[in-house]
A and B are shown apart, each in its own frame.
Chain A
Amino acid sequence: MTVHAVGRSTPAVRHIGRSTLVAPGLKVLYTPTTKVACTTIKWMLAEAEGSLRTDVIPRLLAANLHRSQTIHNRHVSGLQKLNELPPHQVEEILESPEWIRLAALRDPVARSYSAWENRIFMRAPGRTDGGFELAPDVLRDGCIDMTASFARFSEALEQQPQAFMRDHHFVPQSQVVRTDAVRYDLLVRVDEPGGVDSIAAVFRERSGKDIQPQRHNESIGVPLDRACDAATAARLMSVYRSDYDAFGFERRAFAPSVEPYVLSASETQLVTLVRQSVERVTSVSRAAQSKMSARFGVRQIRKAFLRRITFGRMYNTPRGIHW
């Protein structure tokens, strides 16, 4: 796949070019912001564009934890990246009134909780390996205290933001949705009623298809105001100050202290089981992805040859041949 220089080569445009998607059929540019309904929006956009390919999902090796998450693989969504287009086309996309440029936004504290729950607490595969040690579980009688654990995360994030910002789930929205580089026609607050529906309406209008948003809720259902007190919120507001400045989010009020939200023993056990499973998914995915090289190819040819000349005695099981 050829990667072209983005037309306007300011650092900001170069940055958004890496993450921004385009649907040329619909003439829609979309900058995905993680933990801001990006899974739902990508499914809708790919469906509206007609580029969605669910048939390739069983062939993917990526460690997506849910089928819905496979939309982030471009073989599934079929959407193009802005930086893969020739400069003149990029220029047109960024300037033409025929194109609609959209991005989604969410209250920074709510987004931060969602990112923590998904990436740190539930151990979703990503680049936050170091974050597990920096923001460990806080236990009460062997059970996880969600409130205290989230508070500890906010402290670690405030003290060592660079350890978390390697993962784009923790990067401020203002660094992803670069209003200084793209003149967005639609900046949608997905946490406000009708926010996602308004995006669906645009896709419906442009595609002529009945596009409806689907909920891909993977959270464990702990209300934010049960896990976050005023002190935790203040730390997060400080870390994400640029989002408040750039998008004018209102600073929500949180209770000075909240009753600890402690998981039951069985809930804590389920968290352990999910984490074990996620660890294996990641490991299996890595192992699977390593089986693509000339060296692996040579080994496969050698094994196939040995199996043939030994009349099937060697490497006669899927495990054996695979190894």
Chain B
Amino acid sequence: MRVLYTPTPKAACTTIKMMLATAEGTRNSDVVDRLAVMHVSRAQTIHHPQVNGLSTLADFSSRDKRHMLTSPDWLRVTSVRDPISRAYSAWENRIFMRAHRRTTTLIELAHDVRTDGRVDLAASFAHFAKVLGEKADVFMTDHHFLPQTNLARPDVIDYDTLVRVDQPGEIDALARVLTARSGKPIVPERLNEGLGVRVERVCDIHTANRLMATYASDYEAFDFPRRDWAPSVEPLMLSDMEARMLGNYRRAFERAVSVAREAQRRTGARYGVRQMRRAITKVARLENSATRPKETF
């Protein structure tokens, strides 16, 4: 298709990767159930290279890269989003819903804030904005929190299309471009993975100012308007049932990460030899009982 896409996390990158992989014909959903990697949902598995089947720029020679970055035949596209909405989305997903797989440091720094003993989303988000400003380096190890300028690098790549995913019709317009280039009907899939909380409900002017300072480079590079925010917002506390379900969700995710980590540890020649030895022993002992993997280390 001759499309170069720079994904920006929390700027519809899941939807765009799905469209791109479908248009290119590389999407392989069959392997989803064979991935021992935890993603928060089935849709998110599109980020696994075995599922999307897309190549990265690093896979090509310097000459090819230059061609892709300069040729008028190639469409260079990235997506961006209002920095505060994106920061809320990143916080909700990575911190609040615990989708961070590699470290618990960010979760400890941006811990839940309780009001009258109940988890308060507005206060928790305000606390996150505060620690993000104070310890930006720690958070920037996760690319979901990196400024969009650092990811899209408009200083290096001359984009033909900059998709403002929070503007009506922009993703649809990209879908039409991909339809035209691929000859396949490409329709953006609507993913329903957030809590459904509007950022205006949890973000006051103080929190917004902190985030605008953290993401100042995005405002400069992409001319995002600086939106007006309420001087204060009411606490948004989870109900008892919401708190229980959140607890269930977090614990399930923690277990899944543990399982995935253990599965990924089982690699290498030494592990392979052990598996073969186990199988040979079983055959030699004429054991015909079914393997009980969950009872096996």
How far apart are the CA atoms of A277 and B97 in the complex, in Å? 11
Q: Which residue of A lies closest to B260 (CB)?
A: A284
How far apart are the CA atoms of A75 and B41 in the complex, in Å? 29
Residues of B within 8 A of A286 (CB): 33
The reply to whether A265 and B196 form a contact with Cβ atoms under 8 Å apart is yes
The interface centre, meaning the residue of B249, B251, B271, B294 with most chain A CB atoms within 10 A of its CB, is B294
How far apart are the CA atoms of A296 and B276 in the complex, in Å? 8
The reply to whether B41 and A66 form a contact with Cβ atoms under 8 Å apart is no
The reply to whether A283 and B35 form a contact with Cβ atoms under 8 Å apart is yes
Number of B positions contacting A (CB below 8 A) = 62
Partner of A292, one of B194, B260, B291: B291
The reply to whether A285 and B259 form a contact with Cβ atoms under 8 Å apart is yes
Say which size band chain A's interface belongs to. Answer: 35 or more
Known: A269-B195, A288-B263. A297 touches B279 (CB 8 A): yes
Cβ of B108 within 8 Å of any chain A Cβ, yes or no, is: no
The reply to whether A287 and B239 form a contact with Cβ atoms under 8 Å apart is no
How far apart are the CA atoms of A222 and B278 in the complex, in Å? 48
Partner of A270, one of B245, B254, B273, B294: B245
The reply to whether B251 and A67 form a contact with Cβ atoms under 8 Å apart is yes
Known: A280-B42, A298-B272. A66 touches B192 (CB 8 A): no
* Interface 9-residue window, one of A83-91, A191-199, A314-322: A314-322
The reply to whether B33 and A287 form a contact with Cβ atoms under 8 Å apart is yes
Cβ of B168 within 8 Å of any chain A Cβ, yes or no, is: no
Partner of B245, one of A267, A287, A298, A301: A267
Cβ of B38 within 8 Å of any chain A Cβ, yes or no, is: yes
Give the residues from 267 to 290 in chain A that come closer than 8 angstroms, CB to CB, to chain B: 267, 269-274, 276-281, 283-290
Residues of A within 8 A of B280 (CB): 294
How far apart are the CA atoms of A283 and B259 in the complex, in Å? 11
How far apart are the CA atoms of A290 and B259 in the complex, in Å? 13
Cβ of A61 within 8 Å of any chain B Cβ, yes or no, is: yes
Q: Which residue of A lies closest to B31 (CB)?
A: A323
What are 26 A-B contacts defined by CB distance under 8 Å? A59-B297, A60-B259, A60-B262, A61-B259, A65-B251, A73-B295, A122-B248, A219-B244, A220-B244, A266-B195, A269-B192, A270-B195, A270-B242, A273-B40, A274-B248, A277-B256, A280-B38, A284-B36, A291-B36, A292-B275, A292-B278, A297-B279, A304-B269, A305-B269, A318-B267, A319-B37
Q: Which residues of A contact B (CB under 8 A)?
A: 56-67, 73-75, 122, 218-222, 263-267, 269-274, 276-281, 283-294, 296-301, 303-305, 318-319, 321-323
Further 13 A-B residue pairs, CB within 8 A, beyond A285-B259, A294-B279, A301-B273: A63-B259, A269-B192, A277-B249, A278-B252, A281-B252, A281-B255, A287-B263, A288-B259, A288-B260, A293-B275, A294-B278, A299-B272, A301-B269
